[in-house]
Structure 1
Amino acid sequence: MSRKRSYECGIDAAIDVIEGKWKVLVLWALDTGEKRFGELRRGLVGVSEKVLAQQLREMEADGLVHRHDYAEVVPRVGYALTDLGRSLNQALAPLGEWGARNQALIEALRADSPERVNAADSGPRHG
């Protein structure tokens, strides 16, 4: 996968770093501290081993996570956030709050039901 080298703006750079369904979820999972690969996989329902490994490699290359190889008889690897990864989590916190506040509306709008139109019309108007 080729990664962009120059960006139009900060949002472009940020989206490039977090693109993909699992990266933001990995960031949130690591917010509480180092996790082993298996812990991450069990906590991220639906992610395949291959995709998780690829996403972690990209996040490591982007400086968001640190891979710690423990020198033990039974090999063990842990993943933890770097300072850059922690700062990205802080930047994503308001987005998570927005999602939590609007989750029911988003689900209703995406559902194929009569509530879809009513939910869209009930929101606040700005202008």
Structure 2
Amino acid sequence: MIKVVYIATDLIKTDEGYCFNAVYAFKTMTSVSGYDKYLRSSGKDHLLSVTSAAVDIDLSTINVVTELKVADGDVQYIASHVFEHYDDARDYVANIDCAQSEIKTEHNAVKISSRFSPEILHDGWAEF
């Protein structure tokens, strides 16, 4: 069975410009709204981009490849792509990296969350 999930990609402002911070998958837009409110209450400058994807409802984890355009140390969100299988995501990243050097990719295995709570945040934060 197929279900829509919402992919929330978070960029955070640093001294050099925006950089990738985290990516999450939620089952409802209500959860995305909760995450957005949490980010706004943090006092930091976050830029949230939300897309949706149809996935197999039996999956608990998906592979998300985020494409970012890099210019002068700053990144701009381009798109998020969802893959059910790790190998498919890895092949996609390899093709992008070879073809477009100005595109940075982030490949994350993301747990699909039923609802937003601050306790899930450690699962999605990027490592710098």
TM-score between both structures, scaled by the size of structure 1: 0.23
Larger Cα-atom Rg = 1
TM-score between both structures, scaled by the size of structure 2: 0.23
Give the structure with the larger strand fraction.
2
